[in-house]
Amino acid sequence: MEMDMLWSAVLTVALGLTGWILRSAYAEVQRIQILLNRTREEMARDYITKTEVHSDINRVLDRLDRLDEKLDRLVERK
């Protein structure tokens, strides 16, 4: 009879430990999914659109064109 009680106790502890480990793993997976969703939202917020890139590049090119014109006038004067 003692062997049966010992075996039951070992099985109970083993199943309890397995259940606790599985619950912890499930909670960790849920936490990682939440963090992944937040990361996706933040990345989408931080990126810029193609139109914004084109407008920024056009502004830089306009400035370079004006600088080029000023340099040309400076060279013509001398």
Range of the domain at 27: 1-47
Residue in the block written with tokens 């499930």: 26
- Regarding whether 43 and 56 lie in a shared domain, the answer is no
Residue 27, pLDDT > 80, answer yes
pLDDT band at 40 (very low <50, low <70, confident <90, very high): confident
| Mean pLDDT of the region 31-59 | 88
Q: Give the span between the Cα atoms of 62 and 57, in whole angstroms.
A: 9
- Regarding whether 53 and 40 lie in a shared domain, the answer is no
- What are 21's two structure tokens? 């480990």
Q: Look at the chain and report how many structural domains it folds into.
A: 2
- What are 40's two structure tokens? 């996706």
- Regarding whether 39 and 8 lie in a shared domain, the answer is yes
- Regarding whether 20 and 7 lie in a shared domain, the answer is yes
| Mean pLDDT of the region 1-30 | 95
pLDDT band at 41 (very low <50, low <70, confident <90, very high): confident
Tell me if the pTM is above 0.75. Answer: no
Mean pLDDT of the chain: 92
